[in-house]
Amino acid sequence: MNSSINRRSFLGSTTLLGASLAAAPLFAASTPGDSKKLKVGLIGCGGRGKGAAKNFIDACKIIGVEAEVTATADAFKEASETAGKAFGVAEDRCFSGYDAYQKVLATDCTYVIMATPPSFRPLHFAAAVEAGKHCFIEKPVCVDPPGARSIIATGEKAAAKGLAVVTGTQRRYQAAYLRNKALIDAGAIGQIKGGVVQWNGTVPWTKRRVEGDTDASYITRNWLNFTELSGDHIVEQHVHNLDVAVWFLGRLPVSALGFGGRARRQTGNMFDFFSIDLDFGDDVHIHSQCRQITGTHQNVGEFFTGTEGSCYGSGKMTGKKIEVPEIKLESPDPYVQEHVAMIRSVMAGKPINEAKRIAESTLVAIMGRISAYTGQIVRWNDLMLNESSPFYQLTCLPTAADFEKGPVQMPVETPSVPGKG
């Protein structure tokens, strides 16, 4: 671990304008370039990667342009070729290996979809921007503080190059969330004073080590259950709800203090549950709570209390009776709408750039994880500004670059123990 902690790697109003900017430019008109075929490369060919590629194709149909998947890349040959067949990609453009992303970026694609394990995304994003590609990056975008700062820096380079950067935070492209955000901005529940965000579910999947697996292939196949690759489920999954909290409040937390533990997980080194107090300043606290344990109560969502009422993230609101203009989207599917928004923004010459926003939301989740793993209070400045903090350079090992250099050492399959460093 790259820190002083002696432990394994850690793993029609202003209201509507504010709402529409979250998914802008949703209403952009078509341009003469609409007839051009849009070429997209796919990096990361798991279920979400293939799903995102289909979402891109569906978005192109809505806009009225043709889409072509030019190349696929995955650490595993079978996954790359399976995705290639699904999207009609020539066999010689189905690349595999940990450097396969470089080969996709060398093709004539204009857009690229990145859906590899989260630990690989800062490296792949930097390479994609260097290659001049418009980027769709699945959430979360990193697993540690240096990764978050890298995403922000690369996002600034993308902006300078006029490249679009859209991320897989689909709640921001969902009409119900956009409407509630507009109402909150208009004062419907007054000032938000607190709330709770939750993702309580089960472990999505696990992989066992099989004969012939190297350390690299095993942890890559089982990436969802290793902090070093996924960031733990508070980062990989619960980031959606944390992003809503940051979005609705309009600011970042100043600190996190929490706990968590492991009860039943069978592989990897992650926790089964987290409970985090996020201090947003001005006596505003949000309770972040997530769990992956089969047979327990399942609930996913957000709830906020204000000085004048209360609000579920995308549901019921009580408070002042305020009217806001109707939120009109081109697709009822937020997974498709985010691609529509990205493509429209490029065509309009005003590319969306969500890099900083998603890096910050991801870092909120990382802040909570570090606090739970160590048992210490973690401040935002510890991760972004205070270089003398033991958390500032905290790096999950092995890094994405390590996989390209050769054999990697597998992290231990036991969780962190708070208070022991």
Nearest CA among 213, 220, 221, 261 for reference residue 373 = 261
CATH number at 254 reads 3.30.360.10
The DSSP code for 119 is G
Which domain range does residue 31 map to? 20-172+331-353
Amino acid sitting at position 141: V
- Does 181 lie in the same domain as 154? no
**Strand pairing report for 378-379 and 255-261:** antiparallel
**Where does residue 122 rank: exposed (0-12), middle (13-18), buried (19+ CB within 10 A)?**
buried
Residue 31 has a pLDDT of: 37
Regarding whether 90 and 132 lie in a shared domain, the answer is: yes
Does residue 182 share a domain with residue 166? Answer: no
Contact 191, 184 (CB under 8 A): no
Does 338 lie in the same domain as 397?
Answer: no
The three state secondary structure string of 17-57 is HHHHHCCCCCCCCCCHHHHCCEEEEEECCCHHHHHHHHHHH
Average pLDDT over residues 127-147: 98
Reported as a pLDDT band with limits 50, 70 and 90, residue 36 is confident
Answer yes or no: is pLDDT of 22 > 80.
no
Distance CA 247, CA 174 (A): 13
Looking at the structure, tell me whether residues 263 and 324 fall in a common domain: yes
Q: 15 in a domain, yes or no?
A: no
- What average pLDDT does range 148-157 have in this prediction? 98
Average pLDDT, the chain: 92
Per-residue pLDDT at 69: 98
pLDDT score of 123: 98
Task: Confirm whether 9 is domain-assigned.
Answer: no
The CA-atom distances, in angstroms, between 250 and each of 192, 272, 369 are 10, 29, 22
What's the pLDDT score for residue 7?
Answer: 32
Question: What would the pLDDT profile of 93-103 be if each residue is shown by its tens digit?
Answer: 999 999 999 99
What was the pLDDT predicted at 420? 80
Lowest mean pLDDT among 5-9, 102-106, 198-202, 307-311: 5-9
What residues have CB less than 8 Å from 295, skipping those under 6 apart?
none
421 in a structural domain: no
The rounded distance, in Å, linking the Cα atoms of 417 and 415 is 7
180 occurs within a structural domain:
yes
221 and 141 within one domain: no
Q: Are residues 223 and 240 in the same domain?
A: yes
For the chain, the domain total comes to: 2
Q: Is residue 28 part of a domain?
A: yes
pLDDT per residue as tens digits for the range 64-98 = 999 999 999 999 999 999 999 999 999 999 999 99
Which of 45, 4, 48 shows the shortest CA–CA distance to 138?
48
For residue 29, what pLDDT is reported?
34
Residue 382: inside a domain: yes
Tell me: do 75 and 35 sit in the same domain. Answer: yes
Q: Do both 40 and 121 map to the same domain?
A: yes
Residue 26 has pLDDT above 90, yes or no: no
DSSP H stretches of helix in 76-171: 77-86, 100-105, 121-130, 145-161
Residues 342 and 386 in one domain: no
Tokens of 280: 């947003």
Give the pLDDT confidence of 400-412 residue by residue, as tens digits: 999 999 999 999 9
pLDDT digits (tens, 9 = 90+) for 219-248: 999 999 999 999 999 999 999 999 999 999
Q: Does residue 231 sit in the same domain as residue 368?
A: yes
| Largest separation between any pair of C-alpha atoms in the chain | 63
> Which residue in this structure is represented by tokens 């003469």?
32
Average pLDDT over residues 277-283: 98
367 pLDDT more than 60 = yes
Mean pLDDT of 12-18: 32
Residues 179 and 72 in one domain: no
Q: Is residue 387 part of a domain?
A: yes
Q: What is the DSSP letter of 353?
A: B
Helix (H, G, I), strand (E, B) or coil at 136: strand
pLDDT at 421: 56
**Residue 1 included in any domain:** no
Claim: this prediction has a pTM higher than 0.85: yes
| DSSP-based three-state secondary structure for 273 | strand
CATH number, domain containing residue 37: 3.40.50.720
What is the chain's length? 421
Question: In the 8-state DSSP scheme, what is residue 13?
Answer: -
